[in-house]
A and B are shown apart, each in its own frame.
Chain A
């Protein structure tokens, strides 16, 4: 009798367990007619032109974006402008998330109304998940160089920047070379934006140090050694720089993208941003993509059109980032000249690693970073 019970319970348990362990069936996005059209549209023309796209997007009325901090490349303003312009409610989820979290969130909430509609991803994650994107060419697709986009429009570079050193000019002198950061004036003051084995910005920071010390995208060892030296000198603070740490003075020197560094002027009035002189700058672009299973496909496509329009690109420029269509806009005279000229001057050839180089460097970091900055 007891064994019978046991057997029954066991069978039931195993059955339920097996079911629970597998992924559930894909739910159909219940948006119906116009939703289905927008989900397969590869350009505004497919829907009947921009006006039709705007109409479809307004009908959907909502947009889910993810991992867009308000002070990152002026995203706070971009989200607000888009929402006001088209009357679409934009939900900004998990502003603090990283690129991998965006993909994970999309996978986990697939089929629900809360799934992210669009992605803004770092290079490594973007190129590793191309099967998740919808192919779409924005109106200005041809303005963008071939090396900055997927030929079918699955992903497009949206803005970029260079690794720079941001510093509170009231607390520390301007760094003239990277070795200055090892000096006593910077003791306990320098922070890297993120752990290089976890965060793209941290990774690029180490690459910047590597290039400055004679390394390259094929050799990140000098960068790791430099940070090891900095840690031993007591100059490196093992803390993520945030608004709070910058305001309190805990991290007066921050190694980060020039546009994110530029935003810190709002935290501390004496904040300045400088690229290392006489060193090839380390550049990086972010990647825009539309979720193939976006719950609001028309709104997602309208968002992309907005971002790559002159207005959107200038808004990114206002955040200190270099919009991808900058060259075309300079030629057409539509760029915000004052802000464009105010960007830090770039000397030398930008270093932008390929996927293979990034993978090799990441593997090196995975093995050696932790021990180097112990």
Chain B
């Protein structure tokens, strides 16, 4: 029915058109970044990714930021979500509302109002780009919540917890050794999406005058367009590989588990 030959042809043509629209600019970035003088090809811009000290610093900063954001997000969100599901189910609506709130409050608005809060952060922790972790955790909350929630609802957490408790396990063990291993794919999914988001974040870093990778890429665009295009393409490729890995790992976990 649906797989009539006419439909198949239409499908292929449309997919090709979409591919051109989406891959076109990516290929153009590759071409642009390898342009040398007088039509030659050079990988100098790509070499800059590891050689330019400012860009290097920024890339390292962004990678560290994504790591810290993932860790803090997991520490903050996972126990809270499991606890709510097991012990305070009444708070589910509230938790859902709070976690989806950052979708409604644009990052731009958050950064406009967060100056005083960050003065406190600087007061306690000194002024370092890694301070951005705190506000990034808020930004990734909606996406992480959705990922972990779908994993949590696919296992029967209550029964598992009751069984463990009746065997004498404390709440720590229940959360850490019973529930968490079973929602591993959801945690991984949340982590990868958070990494992608943090690597691409520009608004808050730029308006708080911190130099993360995106800010430096934008700055480089004014003096060395080739390198900034190379850096952008590298970041997109990296995030793509990350998310692709996630979909592969997530799928295999699902087939072998429950």
Is A–B contact present in the complex under a CB 8 A cutoff? yes
CB-based contact B223/A108 at 8 Å:
no
Stretch in A55-63, A96-104, A366-374 touching the partner:
A96-104
Tell me, yes or no, whether B90 is within 8 Å of chain A by CB. Answer: yes
Residues from chain B with Cβ under 8 Å of A19 in the complex: 120
**A window 213-243: CB within 8 A of B:** 240, 242-243
Are A108 and B120 in contact (CB-based, < 8 A)?
no
Whether the Cβ atoms of A24 and B90 lie closer than 8 Å is no
B220 — nearest CB in chain A belongs to which residue? Answer: A244
Residue of B nearest to A25 (CB): B123
Option from B115, B117, B120, B224 in Cβ contact (under 8 Å) with A244: B224
CB of A243 within 8 A of CB of B90, answer no
Say whether B119 contacts A101, CB under 8 Å.
no
Q: Is B222 an interface residue (CB 8 A)?
A: yes
A108 touches B209 (CB 8 A): yes
Residue B74 interfacial (CB < 8 Å): no
B153 contacts partner chain A, Cβ-Cβ < 8 Å? no
- Asked whether B184 is an interface residue with its Cβ less than 8 Å from the other chain, the reply is no
| CB nearest to B221 among chain A residues | A244
Q: For the complex formed, measure the closest distance between the CB of A75 and the CB atoms of chain B, giving whole angstroms.
A: 14
Kindly identify, within residues 182 to 233 of chain B, every residue whose CB is under 8 Å from any CB belonging to chain A.
208-209, 211, 219, 221-225
Q: Verify A27–B123 contact, CB threshold 8 A.
A: yes
Contact between B223 and A242 (Cβ–Cβ < 8 Å)? yes
Give me 13 other A-B pairs in contact (C-beta within 8 A), A20-B120, A242-B222, A244-B224 excluded.
Answer: A19-B120, A25-B123, A96-B222, A101-B209, A105-B209, A108-B127, A108-B209, A109-B127, A112-B122, A112-B126, A243-B222, A243-B224, A244-B221
Find out whether the CB atom of A94 lies under 8 angstroms from the CB atom of B120: no
Is B116 an interface residue when CB atoms closer than 8 A count as contact? yes
Q: Give B residues with C-beta under 8 Å from A.
A: 90, 115-120, 122-123, 126-127, 208-209, 211, 219, 221-225
Asked if A114 is an interface residue, CB under 8 A from chain B, the answer is yes
Q: How far is the CA of A25 from the CA of B209 in the complex (A)?
A: 22
Residues of B within 8 A of A101 (CB): 209
CA distance in complex: A113, B122 (Å): 11
- B154 CB to nearest A CB, Å: 29
- Would you call A342 an interface residue if the criterion is a C-beta within 8 Å of the partner chain's C-beta atoms? no
Q: With an 8 A cutoff between CB atoms, is A2 at the interface?
A: yes
29 inter-chain pairs at a CB distance below 8 angstroms, sorted by A residue, are A2-B90, A20-B117, A21-B116, A23-B116, A23-B119, A24-B119, A27-B123, A94-B209, A96-B219, A96-B222, A97-B209, A101-B209, A104-B209, A108-B118, A108-B122, A110-B119, A112-B122, A112-B126, A112-B127, A113-B127, A114-B126, A240-B222, A242-B223, A243-B223, A243-B224, A244-B221, A244-B222, A244-B223, A248-B225
Residues of A within 8 A of B (CB): 2, 19-25, 27, 94, 96-97, 101, 104-105, 108-114, 240, 242-244, 248
Q: What CA separation (Å) do A113 and B116 show in the bound complex?
A: 18
Nearest chain B residue, comparing its CB with the CB of A101 = B209
How far does the alpha carbon of A67 sit from the alpha carbon of B41 in the complex, in Å? 34
Main secondary structure of the interface of A (DSSP, over half): loop
Is B219 within 8 A of A108, CB to CB? no
Residue of B119, B222, B224 touching A108 (CB-CB under 8 A): B119
Contact of A109 among B122, B219, B221, B225 (CB under 8 A): B122
Chain A residue, CB-CB nearest to B218: A96
Question: What residues of chain B lie closer than 8 Å to A27, measured between beta carbons?
Answer: 123
Which residues of chain A have C-beta atoms less than 8 A from B115's C-beta? 108
Which residues on A sit within 8 Å (CB–CB) of B219?
Answer: 96
A112 CB contacts on chain B under 8 angstroms: 122, 126-127
Contact A22–B127 (Cβ < 8 Å): no
Which among B115, B119, B221 has the highest number of chain A CB atoms within 10 Å?
Answer: B119
Contacts of B126 in A (CB 8 A): 112-114
Residues of A within 8 A of B223 (CB): 242-244
Residues of B close to A2: CB separation below 8 A: 90
Contact (Cβ within 8 A) B209 A22: no
Q: Which residues of A contact B221 (CB under 8 A)?
A: 244
Q: Which residues of B contact A110 (CB under 8 A)?
A: 119
In angstroms, how far is the closest chain A Cβ from the Cβ of B199?
21
Q: Which residues on A sit within 8 Å (CB–CB) of B208?
A: 108
Nearest opposing residue in chain B for A104, CB measure: B209
Q: Are A111 and B209 in contact (CB under 8 A)?
A: no
Please give, as numbers and ranges, the residues of chain B lying within 8 Å of A108 by CB-CB distance: 115, 118-119, 122, 127, 208-209
- B120/A24 in contact, CB under 8 A: yes
Q: Using CB atoms, name the residue of chain A closest to B208.
A: A108
Taking CB atoms, residues of chain B closer than 8 Å to A94 are: 209, 211
Residues of A within 8 A of B122 (CB): 108-109, 111-112
What chain B residues lie within 8 Å of A243 (beta carbons)?
A: 222-224
By beta carbon, the residue of chain B nearest A248 is B225
A240 to B123, CA, bound (A): 36
Complexed CA–CA distance, A111 and B121 (Å): 12
**Roughly how many angstroms separate A329 CA and B209 CA in the complex, as a whole number?**
39
A109 CA to B211 CA, complexed, in Å: 14
A27 to B219 CA separation, bound complex (whole angstroms): 32
Q: Which of A19, A104, A108 has the most CB of B within 10 A?
A: A108
C-alpha gap A19/B211 in the complex (Å): 28
Nearest CB in chain B to that of A27: its residue: B123
Closest-CB distance, A149 to chain B (whole angstroms): 29
